[in-house]
Structure 1
Amino acid sequence: MLKILENIMQVQFENQFSDEEKCLKFLADQKWKNGFVCRKCGNTHYCAGKTPFSRRCTRCKSEESARSHTFFHNCRINIKEAFHIVHRVLHDPNISTYTLADESGHRQMTCWRMKKLVEKEMNLND
């Protein structure tokens, strides 16, 4: 998924991920591109969950959000802002976390953690 974000130019990125709904749709499409499989029972049938782009297993009623078990799992900041930070780090790996903090309005330590997660994920995919 990070490779896809890395290849998108800034203007295209801002259009494609202009709000939270578009970010969640992208996550859901990437997460379940090979189809939904329930993590609890293995069922492949689902219905819409309570939150946008989540899926609920029709057998065990377990609900899984688009964020869960992805790079953005347990990410506490707004998904659109998280996408922006990830995109900036992918296009400029040497960007300062202070610069990211100024641009995003988040604490420097939050940006540092996001940057470290991106670097770790990129090293795993090499």
Structure 2
Amino acid sequence: MRALGGPAPGLLAWSLGTFLQLFQPVLWSSGHYTTLLAVCACMWCFGQRLPLRTATGSVWSVGFRMVCVAGVAFALTGVRAAYFQQQTLSPVLEGIDIWVTGLVAEMPQTRVDGVR
């Protein structure tokens, strides 16, 4: 990608992939994102071996790699979003009072840099 503007095409593709995932209406399962990540990684490796020596070959090569990078960014952002969605509070528990009991292991200790 350095032939056409240094790291700019890759950064643009990464931003585009993240942008597209943020506007996805419904999250897919983690398996779908993992599959997309694997496919994009394989496409990247395959693209590294393609002998594109024509006059427009470098443009096609950069475009191909940009699609791969955008797919990886989309997949990684989706995996992270799906992980955090699994950590949310159950809708059954929202809006009700819950009594929590516990045991204080240590009292707060005052130090030079604050209370801890």
The alignment's TM-score, normalised by the length of structure 1, stands at 0.26
The alignment's TM-score, normalised by the length of structure 2, stands at 0.27
Larger Rg belongs to: 2
